[in-house]
Structure 1
Amino acid sequence: MATRDDDDLQCWLVRVRGRVQGVGYREACVRHARTSGITGWVRNRMDDSVEATLQGPRAQLQAMCDWMREDMPAALVDDMDVKTIEPPFPRFDHFERWPTL
C-alpha cells in the first residue's frame, strides 16, 4: 500500500552542460542534496557534462535544480535538461557520487 510520502516522491534525471567539471560541482551537489533531504546520485559524463538522478518531493527537486543552475559560483551552466522518470523507479536512501560514465 502506498504511503503519503510515496505519493509525493518524484524522480528526475538531470543533465547539466557548461563549465561543470573540475570546479567542485559534484561535491557541492552532494552536500546540497544531503542538506536538502534529496536522495539519488551525481556523476561526471565523458562529454564534460554532469548527470544526476534526484528523488524527493517536487518542490525540493525544483529548488535543487534552481541551485544547480544558478548558485554554484565556480560553475558556468550553459544548459540543463530535466526529464521526469515515471514510476516504478528504484528508491534511493541517500545521495552519493557515482563513477564517471
Structure 2
Amino acid sequence: MSARHLVVHGTVQGVFFRASAEQEAGRLGVAGWVRNRADGTVEMVAEGDDDAVEALVRWAHEGPRRAEVTGVDVSDREPEGLSGFVQR
C-alpha cells in the first residue's frame, strides 16, 4: 500500500483532467481525490496497491488527450485508508 500527493502543471483545467483521472483511478482500483487549484494546477491524492498508484502517477504525466502537462510534482504521503476516488 502506498500513497502519493501530486500537483500537475500545464494546461490541465478545462480539459476533463479531473473526470479522466477519476475514470483512470477507478480502472486501476486507486482511492483518493482530485481537484482544481486556484493557481491553474490540478492536485491529486492517490493511494492503493503500489503498482496501481505508480500507474496513475505515470498517467498524470500525460493526462487526457486535450491536456498539455508540463510537469508533475510528486511526493510520498502516509496512506489514510481512503475508499473510492472523487472529484472535489
TM-score when scaled to structure 1?
0.82
Question: In the alignment, residue 64 of structure 1 is paired with which amino acid?
Answer: L
Per the alignment, residue 51 of structure 1 pairs with 43
Per the alignment, residue 75 of structure 2 pairs with 83
For structure 2, the residue ranges without an aligned partner over 5 or more in a row are: none
Residue pairs, 1:5-24, within 5 angstroms: 9-24=1-16
Per the alignment, residue 83 of structure 2 pairs with 93
After superposition, the C-alpha distances for 1:35-58 in whole angstroms (9 at most, x for unaligned) are 110000000000000000000122
| Cα RMSD, aligned residues only | 1.1
Question: In the alignment, residue 83 of structure 2 is paired with which amino acid?
Answer: D
Count of matched residue pairs? 88
Residue pairs, 1:57-76, within 5 angstroms: 57-76=49-68
Query: Which protein has the larger Cα radius of gyration, Structure 1 or Structure 2?
Result: 1
Residues 36 and 73 (structure 1 numbering): CA distance in 2 closer, same or farther, change over 3 Å? same
Residues 42 and 71 (structure 1 numbering): CA distance in 2 closer, same or farther, change over 3 Å? closer
Q: Which runs of 4+ in 1 moved over 3 A?
A: none
Distance in 2 (CA, whole Å) between partners of 1:14 and 1:75 is 16
